[in-house]
Structure 1
């Protein structure tokens, strides 16, 4: 007769080991899944907080911009009659300073600079214009811009005047 007790005992121990390994593995997997979910929720919460803070900052900037825009809308627009009246002496003195052989094609004012662009028939008219612009009241002449002769023989010019008042 054979004694199966030691074999049963070994088999029983290996079964217990297998079940314990499965149980401990399941517990470890459950712990890791819980930790992973918790850290994922923490990341999502921080991302949502950052998104909320950026949205709040954007809304504040938008409301400030809207307030500035509305203030500009409410501000009175300049009266064209008053603007013309303020510029009339400067334009009259500019017209009287222009030599007969020079004419303007563009007059651009971006405070505090007035840019004059045009044509002159001769180089002497160009130098006479430069000299008369130096004497123009209320403005100081800056360096001359590009001057060149076009295909029709006219001299193109560009002067920048700076407002003194």
Structure 2
């Protein structure tokens, strides 16, 4: 008769090998999952740090731009104020020229008692010793650059025999300061 073969030790050995194989596969799979999770976590942390740094850089850049914009607005305001001062200074110089020209054209026998500027019109009031001085004054006022003769006021004689005059000069739009 044939001898009976005992497969129990072989079967137990085979089960241990199979168990080792599955434990190895499970361990390697678990290790890969843990490593993959760690890599993903590191990438996520790096990305969040990078985004945080970018956000901080954006905030810093925005603050710098805000400061720069404030300085730019201050410079523009300063430049506009400087331009306005220059324009006022130029207007003053032009008025100085006009008034100097007016003073130079006054005849010796005429003088001003009042000089007033309102709403683009220069009003002159004064006295002249004679009618010829008054006529010379009127001719000189017509010839003034930058001013046009407006409606002349009344001319009358006062108690001392001087001629009292009133003239209105309007700024010439082409030469107006």
- What is the TM-score with the length of structure 2 in the denominator? 0.46
Decide which structure has the larger Cα Rg and report it.
2
- What is the TM-score with the length of structure 1 in the denominator? 0.50
